[in-house]
Homo-oligomer: A and B are copies of this chain.
């Protein structure tokens, strides 16, 4: 079967277990998102700083240190959150402490984050692939979209198997990265460090940008922008805090420890790469036309090699090293995308359970996978890359606003939670603990708010507005969906008063069976037999007079059959059988509204789809219209045509 081919072998509900990955496996998987940010975060910081010319690079370590500081603060507070608020995940936490509005906002921000995780990671992977295989240069959009399609299919087909080997790329990447930074620092201290391939490029300053940058405010703003761009290194934090459930017990402690380790590794590698980039003289530009190579502008099609690969080349001066580093980076970026594919369906299910998203998202497929969620994520990411383009720089601007919106909301929720706890706790020791929590969380929350403010102030026109609109639109959609479900629950739930309930359960006093007759043939006889077998209060056959001659013919056949059922002929001056039958039923219902009308529709079931167009679809149209008629049951009596 096709669905098995795509979705893999079916898995029974009993065999689908809760995740319990040991730390050594969970850490590289859920940490991949954070670790892999070193593939593009340094590039973003340098790109922004180099707008002010080569000299501005002296600030890059300070920016890096600022980001590392924020990272450690946020990680610290999140570690606290995980230990305190447990395995419910950020959405449940916010829902409980800040109410439905904030929860919807968080849900929207997190969903957008997952989409952008996939888009950024795989666009960056495409960039690395291009750098190590010059043959495919210039097809980044196609490669990025293909990678998204591939990862989606892999996740649909055999997520389990993929998760089983997903720790390997992360470890491979970590080993190479550690080796790279270590060798680089040793080479630097011994004075053997080579220059990057871009070190010889000259950078022309963007005049417009320079005019504003000569002022101190301008330069300050640029530093803030570089800081905002680089804060994409923090994206991995909420990946882990939302995946507590997947860790082996003790879940919370394992997740918290993993978070600390990933945070530390991310901070160190970001600083290391930034330091080595400065030492090897890497030059970068958003607009390749500002790069002067051998006296010529680089041109629009010029491909800039990522910082990580440039320093690899500079340190080891061997093509093989770059290729290995490139493969490792692509690997870890793919794993980062895969964590989104495991996280998104879980999040969607949680939100759907609270009736903010369609119930279908919480339906597990035959292979015990939330296939709808996986597909939704894959298609959204592909759509985004196809429309916005695979440019990592643009995508990162869109990414960070979602990440910090989510972080701010979560931290604020923890703060509220602890504040409430403080008010009902009397034990002195416990109160002390809670006050410590509040202090730490307050620091984290402030840091998040500051970064979010910086991002919105400096990045709004650079792409953050898209994400902001998207998050608001998603929030609005969720509230519409929730309103719909709530209204239905009010109408359908059995908690109404007993009288009402009794009315709904009460047997209708009489059942009138109507059999729709288009032409007196075998299917009509069968429908009639079934109708009579249900022993209704009355049976009546309905024939609509559209064509005088045919009607006469049908009446004659009917009379010849000597059936014990009356044939009512409805006149239809405008030749519209559906309207005539509707009128008639309407009329009947008005006369005795407490009775139920069951209309039996004899239907042909044709063997091939095209043959449907050879039959009047009166039964189909009638069914569609009768749905809106209360007290009417439509019974289809199919007649399977042999071929």
Contacts and interface: CB of A to CB of B under 8 A. Distances in A.
Interface string A162-175: 00000000000000
A364 interface: yes
Interface string A620-643: 000100111110111111111111
A611 interface: yes
A491 B530 contact: no
B511 A494 contact: no
Given A614-B359, A616-B363, A633-B530, A641 B491 contact: yes
A596 B530 contact: yes
Interface in A535-583: 535-536, 546-548, 557, 561, 563, 573-576
Interface in A340-383: 358-360, 363-366, 368
A493 interface: yes
A508 B492 contact: no
A534 interface: yes
Interface in A296-337: none
A575 B364 contact: yes
- A532, A535, A623 interface centre (most CB from chain B within 10 Å): A535
Given A575-B366, A614-B481, A616-B360, A638 B642 contact: no
B616 A628 contact: no
A529 B548 contact: no
A603 interface: yes
A627 B635 contact: no
Interface size class of A (residues with CB under 8 A): 35 or more
A565 to B, nearest CB: 11
Q: How many copies does the complex hold?
A: 2
Interface stretch (A60-68, A436-444, A515-523): A515-523
Contacts of A360: 613, 616
Nearest to A355: B614
A142 B399 CA distance: 48
Contacts of A491: 522, 641-642
B575 A363 contact: yes
A641 B533 CA distance: 31
A528 to B, nearest CB: 7
Contacts of A627: 603, 605, 636, 638, 640
Nearest to A10: B574
A636 B633 contact: yes
Contacts of A469: none
A557 B494 contact: yes
B533 A511 contact: yes
A635 to B, nearest CB: 4
Contacts of A530: 508, 511, 596, 598, 633
B634 A636 contact: yes
Nearest to A560: B494
Contact of A12 (B506, B534, B574, B639): B574
A435 interface: no
A529 B504 contact: yes
B596 A533 contact: yes
Contacts of A476: none
Given A366-B575, A492-B522, A573-B14, A633 B637 contact: yes
B526 A504 contact: yes
A460 to B, nearest CB: 31
Nearest to A496: B522
Contacts of A609: none
A504 B522 contact: yes
A634 B632 contact: no
23 contacts: A13-B548, A13-B574, A358-B615, A359-B614, A360-B616, A365-B575, A366-B575, A487-B643, A488-B604, A488-B641, A492-B522, A504-B522, A504-B529, A505-B525, A507-B532, A530-B598, A534-B535, A603-B627, A605-B627, A623-B636, A627-B638, A635-B635, A636-B636
Top 7 closest pairs, chain A to chain B, by CB? A12-B573, A635-B635, A492-B521, A534-B534, A366-B574, A627-B638, A10-B574
